[in-house]
Structure 1
């Protein structure tokens, strides 16, 4: 009981620190900034674009569906974006990712915030069947294209003293059964960007990297894929997007959303791994998955 009380007090303290001791954020920090948001035709990426638009940023959105991108651009303009434009791009093609950055430079003249959010490839929810083609597709879209975009935008971001905002997942830090391909790509992202962040700091390069560690969010795609096969409740995508934008603009190292289902379980992973594995197992309705 004594240990549980200590753990409980520590968790309460961490939560209080996270929510109340953050730096001051204002819309003036965003107004006029040049932002590229990938995977922004729907879901979290769409909401991130709207948040930047409300605060007067110059926004470029990108995805594969041109009709949806037109709608997102119009709403960005209605919300108050200094400008809003779109580029159709397919992140399964690394050349397309490189060309996206070049076109963004042409449209904006530079870049202040690179938001890497897109997801694709073998995004499914079910038993592992050993399909290497699915694995390669997932790694290309959900990992390698992120790296290509980062490499292509690096010079612009250093010139502007900008930031990189990487949308990751709790699936990149803890076991995620029935989504092995997706989890593998997120673990790869975590390894790359945490290592790059440290290297840039040691080289005294002013280019902060914010990694957003997300739980289950109520995007249409996530709800459709997972459905009623897990016991967790989805958190709102608009609140999630606001947390990401704030953390990225303030140059925070990490953003956890929702905090209670991401950061806190990760503490249990290190302290009581056996209980942690049991807790994960209880989140899945295996009879509905197999």
Structure 2
């Protein structure tokens, strides 16, 4: 073991530097090409109406700020209204034309109808629906002692995206709008201790890939399949539920001072 550690310490640092030296120019070139493409063909977001679910923290919060910089009108949705107030103020300072906040649970169809209908009443249309709700876990399947956690995970990660889509879809047809989904690399690269999360994300991706065929070009669909996202969830913010260690604090409900959103996932929204 000591010999193995010695060899790794000897070989990995120079190997990493060589890899970076060869890959960095290519990455810079791809970023420039992507910037040029988005500058020419990117969608003008100014004055568009955007609903963002799971907007109280994490990816949803950061996406709200990106839309604000592009002067969109925002409806920010999450279960905890008090978290949305500060984010709404930040979005206004960044340039959002108008920001509305709604306390709602996206796994309840009636709540989804309420925030979509309120958006229509205030703005008259919906251009983008951004679904960012997510709930992970860190238990092995055999460790579970209470199977009531199973539908909770599936409800939030799957139905929490499907219900808002179902309700908003007629209005997105009218505006030739777009749906953006927060998927995950676990949908095709399963990781240990994340079996149900990976299954839910795989179901989510397959649902929207199928929906893309049904909608053709009338409503656009962007599936953001991101990699590792650093937030408070990755630093031990867990709660115990009947012997299984679960992340009961959703990504949307946790502050995110260390959040790293992959720009490549978000760039194709425009």
TM over 0.5: yes
Shift of the 30–245 alpha-carbon distance from structure 1 to 2, 3 Å rule, reads farther
In 2: Cα distance, 1:94 partner to 1:134 partner: 20
Aligned equivalent of 2:227: 215
Return the alpha-carbon distance in structure 1 between the equivalents of residues 234 and 121 of structure 2. 34
SS at match of 2:99: strand
Relative to structure 1, is the Cα distance of residues 136 and 28 closer, same or farther in structure 2, using a 3 angstrom cutoff? closer
Q: CA separation in 2, counterparts of 1:247 and 1:28? A: 10
What is the alpha-carbon distance in structure 1 between the residues aligned to residue 114 and residue 173 of structure 2? 19
Stretches of structure 2 that go unaligned for 5 or more consecutive residues are 1-18, 239-257
| From 72, 80, 94, the counterpart of 1:57 | 72
Question: 1:206 corresponds to which residue?
Answer: 218
After superposition, what is the alpha-carbon deviation per residue over 1:163-198, rounded to whole angstroms, capped at 9, x for unaligned? 110010001111122012211110110110011112
What secondary structure sits across from 2:157 in the alignment?
A: helix
TM-score by length of 2: 0.75
> What is the CA RMSD across the aligned residues, in angstroms?
2.6
Check 1:157–1:173 CA distance in 2 against 1; reply closer, same or farther (3 A cut). Answer: same
**Residue equivalent to 2:245:** none
Normalized against structure 1, the TM-score is what? 0.70
Residue 257 of structure 1 corresponds to which residue in structure 2? none
Q: Per the alignment, in what secondary structure is the counterpart of residue 269 of structure 2? A: helix
Aligned to 1:268: none
**Residue of structure 2 equivalent to 1:264:** none
Distance 1:59 1:238, change over 3 A: farther
User: How is 1:8-47 mapped onto 2 (pairs within 5 angstroms)?
Assistant: 19-22=31-34, 23-25=37-39, 29-47=44-62
Q: Distance in 1 between matches of 2:236 and 2:64?
A: 22
The offset of 1:21, in angstroms, is 3.6
Q: Distance in 2 between matches of 1:138 and 1:190?
A: 16
Matched, 1:126 2:126: no
Aligned to 1:273: none
Q: Secondary structure at the match of 2:219?
A: coil
Instruction: Determine whether 1:247 maps to 2:262.
Output: no
CA distance in 1, matches of 2:102, 2:139: 33
Count residues in correspondence.
225
Cα displacement string for residues 92-150 of structure 1 (whole angstroms, at most 9, x for unaligned residues) = 32322232222222232111111000123xx3212213543211111111101211111
- Structure with greater contact order relative to length (CA < 8 Å, sep ≥ 6): 2
Cα contact 1:124–1:225 (8 A) shared by 2: no
Gaps of 5+ in 1: 1-7, 227-235, 250-290
1:77-156 matched pairs, under 5 angstroms: 77-120=92-135, 123-128=136-141, 129-130=143-144, 131-156=146-171
* Distance (whole Å) between structure 2 residues aligned to residue 185 and residue 65 of structure 1: 24
User: Cα–Cα, structure 1 residues 207 and 54, in superposed 2: closer, same or farther, change >3 Å?
Assistant: same
d(CA) in 1 for partners of 2:117, 2:85: 20
